[in-house]
A and B are shown apart, each in its own frame.
Chain A
């Protein structure tokens, strides 16, 4: 089999080495999602590639967040929410009755829009999920905490006050702490739901750089309303649109194609700021 590697040289990193082989990690097939009787997502199929950043873009209410929360089954927590179709992560159907949701969520970390550290110390914020997943040896926990905080660039800022309340950190630091908390569990996939939209521009820039640094090590799916940001950081982009209150996938492809030569007229109108 011949692979045209050029075809997979991605988005803004075109000059550098290819960041990732197009190896499918998450296969979404015919995914539909209902809240009570209202359809929120209709028949979405797409592949998420390993080590890449995939941006989900589109107007409010188009089902981006619903799509994201279906991947780690956070949809289970919403009363009246039903999911049809299949989502395969590493070829395992995550809706299979035998799937262990807790370990699934360990493998698929999630970062939310609003930074939400637990009302505990910085150290405890990271240690709590580790303990819960069976990492209880103090030495090991400390090593992991240090590494996670270094990964998000927070170690130098907080290493002398790990026992201070996490809520005493600034908004941007809190969001990086939340990312560190997810990374400490050593996930394969990171889901990010508008991680920068509640932050000021400078903090937002820091988090954005961080996401870029994580590229390659983690598979990242990010919802963002900031088109410029999607364009800067993503390798792939999926454009969702809402018709009669139901979200649909309009176009999916390499980020550059979506922004520069979209196939669909709607995509072109949206990314150029004419619609949405």
Chain B
């Protein structure tokens, strides 16, 4: 009884603390970006001629486009690959191969992003450059991001698929379903929630990833015309300019941070909606 109350207290305090930190960060972002949010018209982030913060031109749209394109590109590659890898481990691989493969993926998940960036900078970008100069490009950013979020999607999808109750699979087999029929008809629908959660996490990570993308994407503020054009993402922009930004410029960088956070929030709200619509 006594310990129960104590435990409840401790857990509640932990939960409040976590929520509070999140709230404080949001407040801090709002506070820092307040001067431009009230002083300048918000539409200037959309309609200014370009991003020349020192001359007072604050168009964030090309960088928002760069961020979204890099993330979406990475998701397009990583989601099918990740789910396929997870299916391979759980349903198709021989036992010994499955465990080796899983270790490999876990190892991939543990590589720091700066190392991916370094590899991209020294190997991947020059390789693309030989084919389609300059090399440091949206494509390089997409590929590096793909490698980074692939293990995340694979591991979460694996966990979700491995947690599908054995009885369900047994029932599916007893009904004469083929292995692929079982996977498609029963296992994937049963694991959908977990897989979706993993994809959302991965998307959030891709949106916010700074270092690796900064190192390979070329960082030119522009709407890319092809995947071989360099782009700059919002996160990379913050990292590049924070050191010398002052006044309105500094505030606008916080606005772009706020924008990133908003994107992630929209993403998780979408996930919530999807979940509700599932059986509606």
Chain A: residues with CB nearer than 8 A to chain B? 72, 74, 77, 101-106, 109-110, 112, 114, 116, 118-121, 128-129, 131-133, 164-165, 178, 181-182, 185
Contact = CB atoms under 8 A, between A and B. Distances in A.
A110 B165 CA distance: 17
A128 B185 contact: yes
Contact of B176 (A77, A118, A119, A133): A133
Contact of A182 (B167, B173, B175, B186): B175
A228 B41 CA distance: 81
Q: Which of A129, A165, A181: most chain B CB closer than 10 A?
A: A129
B156 to A, nearest CB: 18
A118 B171 contact: yes
Nearest to B175: A129
A129 to B, nearest CB: 4
Can you list the 4 inter-chain pairs with the closest CB atoms, starting with the nearest? A105-B176, A110-B174, A129-B175, A106-B176
Contacts of A109: 174-175
A114 B171 CA distance: 10
Contacts of A101: 176
A223 to B, nearest CB: 14
B168 interface: yes
A118 B190 contact: yes
B172 to A, nearest CB: 7
Nearest to B171: A116
Interface residues on B, range: 10 to 19
Contact of A114 (B167, B181, B279): B167
Nearest to B180: A132
A106 B172 CA distance: 11
Contacts of B167: 112, 114, 116
A188 to B, nearest CB: 13
Contacts of A105: 173-176
A131 B181 CA distance: 9
Contacts of B177: 102, 128-129, 132
Contacts of B185: 118, 120, 128, 131-132
Interface string B182-226: 000110011000000000000000000000000000000000000
A182 B172 CA distance: 10
A77 B171 contact: no
Interface string B145-172: 0000000000000000000010110111
A132 B180 CA distance: 10
A120 B167 CA distance: 15
B123 interface: no
B196 to A, nearest CB: 14
Contact of A129 (B165, B170, B176, B190): B176
Contacts of B165: 116
A121 B172 CA distance: 15
Contacts of A118: 168, 171-172, 185-186, 189-190
A78 to B, nearest CB: 10
Contacts of A102: 176-178
Contacts of A182: 174-175
21 contacts: A101-B176, A103-B176, A105-B173, A105-B175, A109-B174, A109-B175, A112-B167, A112-B171, A114-B167, A116-B168, A118-B171, A118-B185, A118-B186, A118-B189, A119-B190, A120-B189, A128-B177, A132-B178, A132-B181, A133-B176, A178-B171
Given A112-B167, A119-B189, A77 B279 contact: no
Contacts of B173: 74, 77, 105
A109 B279 CA distance: 28
B9 to A, nearest CB: 36
Given A106-B176, A129-B177, 6 more contacts: A77-B173, A114-B167, A118-B190, A120-B189, A132-B175, A182-B174
